[in-house]
Amino acid sequence: MTDALADKLAHLPTQPGVYQHKDADGTVIYVGKAKNLRSRVRSYFQEGRPREAKTEALVKKIADVEVIVTDTEAESLLLEDNLIKRLKPRYNVLLKDDKSYPFICVKNERFPRVFPTRKVRKDGSLYFGPYTDAKAMKLVLKTIKDLFKLRSCSLNLNPAAIEAGKYQPCLDYHIQRCAAPCVGYETEAHYNGTIEQIKTLLNGKTRELTDLLKDEMQRLAAEKKFEEAAEYRDRLRAIETYAQKQKVVTDPEVDRDLFALALDREADAGVGVLFKVREGKIIGRTHKILRGIEGVEDGELLQRTVEAYYANAQFYPNEVYLASELAEPSAVEELLRDKKGRKVEVRTPQRGEKVDLMNMVEANARLLLSEWKLQQEKREEDRIPRSVLSLQRDLRLKNPPRRIECFDISHLGGTGTVASCVVFQDGRPRKSDYRTYKIRTVESGKPDDFQSMREVVERRYARLLEENGPWPDLVIIDGGKGQLSSAVESLRRVDVYGKFPVVGLAKRLEEVFVPGESGSTMIPRTSSSLRLIQRVRDEAHRFAVTAQRKQRRIKDLRSELLDIPGVGAKTAKKLLTQLGSVKAVKAASEDEIAAVTGPAVARAIRQHYDTPDEKPEAD
């Protein structure tokens, strides 16, 4: 921990708020909330505190902390949710829809339209859903269409256009599907009253809507407006038909939300499920896929699921039932109280019918997780190239080698030794994951490919062990038995041998060596797997040679700077790193150089380049 970070931790506020952990590059790698920022943030750095591997890796990367103070814990919950969605930090649990489910949109406009959509925009419109059951959504839309006279056009119904008679009634008006607000036949106030009834229906409050419609029907009948009263009678019948198709599961007096989880720790994934119960009837189900759950307790995962939903909800129930306890229930309770305007009961049922109800929700969560895993497996099978499957077959591997890492060593007469590690994902180079290593343990001028291989393999997988992957499905060592044995030795040393298969590839006859087997494996020359291995090996060789040449070129350039009095190896390196090239150093002003080296050395450099070379005079 740096002194600056330690000083910042010592002066953190004790109010509620959100904290953001950042790495050395300033990238936000984790976002969290806390009732007491100082206590929570400092807990990450307490010595001797037991931590999961994922948290351990996170703490090692924290270089800075930024906090945002909020007035309440509920506000911090909302801010945390927004930051996670926007920044997508590496170490946070991410919740995603398994696919793009539809919503019902009530458009933010004069005389709002109601229509299905898969895109949620922040334009002030209301979105109800998502609907995982398309049939259920279509039933709701059909009920709305049968009940209410809404416009379906996208005309700009501003007052000036209506008064000017810009529009004419369309077919919907003549077949009594629309009341023609476009020509002023329906007032905005009356239309908005209809929209309020639709919102009530979409929130599952059929009984409340029925009572409203009955009162209006009776009022119209008393005023002898029998045709209008008949319209309300037809609406009542349609709502009753719609309500009968909803499953009754509990006390009709209470609105409840039911949350449960199903987790697969090996797959590092899970499903969070919500059942919406309104007036005792299930009106819908929604779920989110949880990714990156390693090291996160069940209570925290359920907490994240519940918080993410209520951070953007448009309706808040009287009760919330949970299949298990939340990690920090107070934040959810405070948020619900603020949104609802009164206390919302948050419970974990222990006995009776309510436990049976939660068992049903959990069963649905397990079913959804199984379906998602099957879909993932199918997608993976569909995406795996034939060459990768051929390599699995030819090397008799347990799993397809979708991620392959290959190592090669390059040097020039034993000097400037460089190792490369290239990565192929599904048979294609993944250049963002390529790495080069300057070999430190081999004396310059004395080439030792075996020791170089030991060093680079140990450094590579000690780092991956610290960061917990991503792990390869196959490691290829460019070389014969000697290089392979050196690599295996290092894998054993960092205690990852056996976590993934490793083979050696000899240039002679393209022999493949496997640890523990005396002979080599010959892959058929016509096999696509051999061509894949050769491409991986050739790319590792090219990358190593390129890195070695670049290092040698930098060394040659640095040697030119070393000819200048007062410039040492460290100064030359700083000049090349910050100014980019010897040419840039030559062109830089004394002040620009002084910003890197100091005034005395800058003066010597400018004097060196500004002094013309002495040439012998002509006879």
Alpha-carbon gap, residue 421 to 463, rounded angstroms: 13
Predicted model pTM: 0.46
Radius of gyration over alpha carbons of the chain, in Å?
34
List, for residues 131-179, the tens digit of each pLDDT value: 766 777 787 888 788 778 889 898 989 898 888 888 999 988 888 889 8
For residue 420, what are the CA distances in angstroms to 455, 469, 477, 520, 575? 12, 18, 11, 24, 26
Alpha-carbon gap, residue 9 to 24, rounded angstroms: 17
Asked if residues 339 and 312 have their Cβ atoms less than 8 Å apart, the reply is no
**pLDDT reported for residue 81:** 82
**pLDDT reported for residue 533:** 93
Q: Name the pLDDT band for 121 (thresholds 50, 70, 90).
A: confident
**pLDDT reported for residue 213:** 75
Alpha-carbon gap, residue 581 to 579, rounded angstroms: 6
Q: Name the pLDDT band for 615 (thresholds 50, 70, 90).
A: very low
Mean pLDDT of 218-240: 77
Alpha-carbon gap, residue 508 to 485, rounded angstroms: 18
Asked if residues 16 and 259 have their Cβ atoms less than 8 Å apart, the reply is no
**pLDDT reported for residue 553:** 65
601: region left, alpha or beta (phi > 0 left; psi from -120 to 50 alpha) = alpha
Least Cα distance to 146 among 122, 123, 114, 120 occurs for 114
Asked if residues 392 and 399 have their Cβ atoms less than 8 Å apart, the reply is yes
For residue 16, what are the CA distances in angstroms to 35, 37, 75, 158, 283? 4, 6, 9, 45, 36
Mean pLDDT of 268-284: 82
User: What is the residue whose two structure tokens read 């006995």?
Assistant: 351
Alpha-carbon gap, residue 17 to 434, rounded angstroms: 39
List, for residues 98-109, the tens digit of each pLDDT value: 556 688 899 999
User: What is the residue whose two structure tokens read 């390196």?
Assistant: 573
Domains of the chain: 3-92 (3.40.1440.10), 256-377 (3.30.420.10), 389-552 (3.30.420.340), 563-610 (no CATH)
Cα 389 to chain centroid, rounded: 29
Would the pLDDT of 535 be above 90?
yes
CA dihedral 521, 526, 532, 533 (to 10 degrees): 30
% of the chain surpassing 70 pLDDT: 91
Would the pLDDT of 513 be above 80?
yes
345: region left, alpha or beta (phi > 0 left; psi from -120 to 50 alpha) = beta
**pLDDT reported for residue 554:** 61
Mean pLDDT of 452-472: 93
- Whether cis (ω within 30° of 0) applies to the bond prior to 130 is yes
CA dihedral 86, 336, 328, 281 (to 10 degrees): -100
What DSSP string runs through 209-227?
HHHHHHHHHHHHHHTT-HH
Alpha-carbon gap, residue 87 to 101, rounded angstroms: 23
Q: Which amino acid is at 570?
A: K
Would the pLDDT of 386 be above 50?
yes
Q: Name the pLDDT band for 182 (thresholds 50, 70, 90).
A: very high
Edge-to-edge strand list for the sheet holding 28-34: 28-34, 17-22, 64-69
- Biggest alpha carbon–alpha carbon distance for the chain: 128
Would the pLDDT of 419 be above 90?
yes
**pLDDT reported for residue 252:** 59
Q: Name the pLDDT band for 218 (thresholds 50, 70, 90).
A: confident
**pLDDT reported for residue 566:** 84
Would the pLDDT of 313 be above 70?
yes
What DSSP string runs through 289-357?
EEE--TT--HHHHHHHHHHHHHTS-S---SEEEESS--S-HHHHHHHHHHHHSS--EEE---STHHHHH
CB burial class (10 A; 0-12, 13-18, 19+) of residue 609? middle
Handedness of CA 533, 534, 540, 541 (dihedral sign): positive
**pLDDT reported for residue 619:** 38
User: What is the residue whose two structure tokens read 């780092």?
Assistant: 463
